[in-house]
Amino acid sequence: MDDNPNMCEFRKAGLPIYFLVGGPGSGKATQAARLQCKLGYTVINIGKLLRDEVCSGSGNAKLNHTLDTGELAPQDVAMKLLKEALLKSLCARKPILIIGFPRNVCQLQAFEKEISQAKGTFYLDASDCTLKNRQKFRGRADDKLETIEKKLHIFRKQTRPMIEQMINTGRISRIDGEKPTDEVFAELYKALQSQSSCVQANAGCNERENEPGLRAKPVPSPCGPTVASPCGQPVPSPCGQPKRPSGGACGQPPVPPPRRNTCDQPSRDCGR
């Protein structure tokens, strides 16, 4: 863990953190903005943090180059900006939704080691062709054809393996990102509400665990194997613990593997 006194204060606050991940063009920012309006969550967009850092004239030539070419930003820079944003979020005292991070297993491990483990991760799953087509028409300055191809290559090589690892440990909820925006939002909102209920149930249980007269009782859990509940009530097991490989996050249905088709394979978004 990061020994910075400020980060210690952040961890003491116990604000739940959620990740929203997906390929470039999967709609992460769009859905996060809607969740922020509906639930009041603090949204931290790592892509925006990096672009703002370049625009601030920080003089970080390497960061400027990575954004221009579609490569991943240096991990130390991304972590520094995330920590600063997390500390600013303390005033709001709201759950935190981080979008566009982590991008690979190393980033996930660094976050969990230096900050904390996320309470839930949500994956907007869309085909490569859908991702490519959406980027072509969203009008961002860094959405040049060669940059789009580079981003998709990195997503396939680094982010998908991380997602598959999280699927195998039951730590991710898959959302069908191919659906219309409103349907994606409804599915994401439902999954987040389910995950939040699981977190709140465990938090309430933890608050009472030291009360006299309460004995741990084994109870069935939708999150995985039977766990002991110090509250003596049926509550979900901690969402951060490994669950059955075939199961989804926090009692969600089993998560299918990520879409892998490229534009050389049939897809309804490839014009075939």
| Average pLDDT estimate for 184-204 | 84
Q: How much of the chain, in percent, has pLDDT values that exceed 90? A: 54
DSSP the chain: ----HHHHHHHHHT--EEEEEE-TTSSHHHHHHHHHHHH--EEEEHHHHHHHHHHTT---HHHHHHHHHTPPPPHHHHHHHHHHHHHHGGGTT--EEEES---SHHHHHHHHHHT---SEEEEEE--HHHHHHHHHHS--TT--HHHHHHHHHHIIIIIHHHHHHHHHTT--EEEETTS-HHHHHHHHHHHHHHHHHHHHHHHHHHHHTTSTT---EEEEETTEEEEEETTSS--PPPTTS---TT--GGGPPPPPPPP---TTS--TTTT-
Band (pLDDT 50/70/90 cuts) for residue 1 is: low
Mean of pLDDT values over 41-57: 92
Predicted structure pTM score: 0.75
Report the mean per-residue pLDDT for the chain: 79
Task: Specify the pLDDT at position 251.
Answer: 52
Model pLDDT for residues 141-156, shown as the tens digit of each residue: 778 888 999 999 999 9
